[in-house]
Amino acid sequence: MAYSREVYDQAKSLLDAYRRQAVSENDERRKAFIAANPEYGRLETEIAQTSIRLTRVMLSGEKDISRTVGEIRDNNLAMQQRQLEILREKGCPDDYLEPKYHCRLCGDTGFVDGKMCACFREILRKTAYEELNRSTPLELCSFQSFSLDIYPEKAANNSRLPPRVVMEGVKKRCWDYANSFSLHSENLLFQGGVGLGKTHLSLAIAGKVISKGFGVIYGSAQNFFTTIENEHFGRGEDKQYTLDLLKSCDLLILDDIGTEFVTPFSTAVFYDIINTRLLQRRPTIISTNLSIKGIGERYDERITSRLSGNYTRVQFLGSDIRIELKKKTYRND
């Protein structure tokens, strides 16, 4: 997957910081250990001089140097063994004076035998997620801040249950979904009018799932489709990865489907995203102001059938929260 230079540089900077920290901490640990155990330090100095002794022997002109080289080698191994004994006598593991890298495989360099290490790929992926979610107000929309007081207590529009009761169940369902989230979680389709809390609960789920260590991408359909179109036709910067990330992240939350400007390209991208994620069994949450009928009128049959057949519908009821909050604020003034 091709990432932008900005994402690559951020990820590489993080790796470099990991490596510097590991080396710095090891230097301090080594200094403290040698200060307390001078013999270890003397042995380290003698071992470091082995190469110099070997070079002198090689340049000495002696015809048979094998015996001398063997003695130097044996002495070197004996000193190394004594160093291990000192570490063990002090109750330290054999690698106590080696840097403790985040990734033992690549030593926080990001590469193994010239190939990108899995740790670097994961950091790139997480950095790209953060870049896409940078403007997402996760901290403003939590389950704790989702108030049910705004929803009417009386049933209306031929509904058997009051909106507040319905939304109490919706909130609990979303909480349970986020709390027990796994890569086997179901797909959800949030439906309801404008300002009923779909975005708030979507962000609350995103925040909770991210805190569990999963890779989550949240955003509006319009923004994503525009970005993907710019990348596809070369109108963006050097980013070429948004579509791949949307298809491969652990949880994708597409907000406001149906409000974007629909084109053959955006429809094809939308289908590609949901179909790929269904085939790969990756959970997706989609929110929309449209009914299933409205979805069918706006998109082709392939999209409609997948949303109606492979997503669990969650209906949001009530009045526009923003209007109700303004009314409440006005009454309290």
Whole-angstrom Cα distance, residue 18 to residue 156? 58
Q: Is residue 254 within 8 Å of 156, Cβ to Cβ?
A: no
Same domain, 69 and 158: no
In this structure, are 55 and 9 located in the same domain?
yes
C-alpha 154/C-alpha 165 separation (Å) is 9
- With respect to residue 129, please indicate whether it lies within any of the assigned structural domains: no
Residue bearing the bigger pLDDT, 268 or 159 = 268
- Give the domain-ending residue among 93, 119, 145: 119
Distance CA 118, CA 34 (A): 35
With respect to residue 124, please indicate whether it lies within any of the assigned structural domains: no
Q: At what angle do helices 50-59 and 66-89 cross, to 10 degrees?
A: 180
Rounded CA-CA distance 333/328 in Å is 9
- pTM equals 0.70
Among 60, 89, 119, residue at a domain's last position: 119
What is the domain-level CATH number for residue 214?
Answer: 3.40.50.300
Can you give the pLDDT at residue 30? 94
Q: Could you say which of 90, 119, 148 is where a domain stops?
A: 119
pLDDT-based confidence at 25, cuts 50/70/90?
very high
Verify that 111 and 140 share a domain, yes or no: no
Q: Are residues 231 and 327 in the same domain?
A: yes
Segment 269-312, tens digit of pLDDT:
999 999 999 999 999 999 999 999 999 999 999 999 999 999 99
Distance CA 303, CA 264 (A): 13
263, 294: one domain: yes
Full residue range of the structural domain in which residue 11 is found: 5-119
Locus of tokens 């109490």: 168
Express each pLDDT in 53-110 by its tens digit: 888 877 777 767 888 888 888 999 999 999 999 999 999 999 999 999 999 999 999 9
Task: Tell me: do 300 and 239 sit in the same domain.
Answer: yes
Average pLDDT, the chain: 87
Q: Per the domain annotation, does 220 fall within a domain?
A: yes
Residue 144 and residue 115 share a domain? no
92 and 34, same domain (yes or no): yes
Q: Is residue 126 included in any domain, yes or no?
A: no
Number of structural domains the chain divides into:
2
Residues 105 and 161 in one domain: no
- The answer to whether residues 173 and 313 touch, using CB atoms and an 8 Å cutoff, is no
| DSSP state for residue 187 in the 8-state scheme | P
Verify that 90 and 219 share a domain, yes or no.
no
pLDDT value at residue 58: 76
Residue 128 lies in a domain: no
Is 127 part of any domain?
no
For residues 220 and 328, state if they share a domain.
Answer: yes
Shared-domain flag, residues 99 and 217: no
pLDDT tens digits along 130-140: 877 776 777 77
